Amino acid sequence: MLWLNIRDDFSENSLFSRMTFVYWTTGTWTFFALFGCLLLFNTHLANLRKELRVSSYSLFAYFTAVTGVLVPIDMFWTLLYIPVTYWTTNLEPSGAIFFAFFACVFLNVIVMQALGLSIAAVFLGTHNAFTFSISLVTFFFG
């Protein structure tokens, strides 16, 4: 943890600390969600090709199953991380602002996870996927 109990004055003096905490949290969950999905299709590619050859199931069913498994896992860790860090840092003692912050981070995780899955599906080579993802995140934060 970078901060414990940001100043209680809620004035312009503590604005930088609050802003950097929000930026840090957003960046952390951007990287976790995006890079957590990049190796997924490479690990299952051989089995997926065999099962698609014999028409065991459709590609849509595979993508739906993978997404259905990954989303709750990342949401679980987000659900644990956000309340602990938000209330420990005393970012703003308001329930409405907490839920707005939680919704923004939650939406960020879902979007970055979807982006990571699409990048992993397009670039089946691990190095290409990581290179493209790092360039994309640099573009987002640049």
Mean pLDDT of the chain: 82
Q: List Cβ neighbours of 69 (8 Å cut-off, separation of 6 or more).
A: none
Q: What is the pLDDT of residue 8?
A: 61
- C-alpha 80/C-alpha 75 separation (Å) is 9
**pLDDT in the model for residue 122:** 87
Q: What is the pTM of this model?
A: 0.79
pLDDT at 5: 54
State mean pLDDT over 104-124: 88
pLDDT confidence of 107, banded at 50, 70, 90? very high
pLDDT tens for residues 4-58?
555 566 666 667 777 888 888 888 888 888 888 888 877 778 888 888 888 877 8
Half-sphere exposure for 83 (CA within 13 Å, toward CB): 7
Q: Which long-range contacts (CB under 8 A, 24 or more apart) does 75-81 make?
A: 75/106, 75/109, 77/32, 78/29, 78/105, 78/106, 78/109, 81/25, 81/29
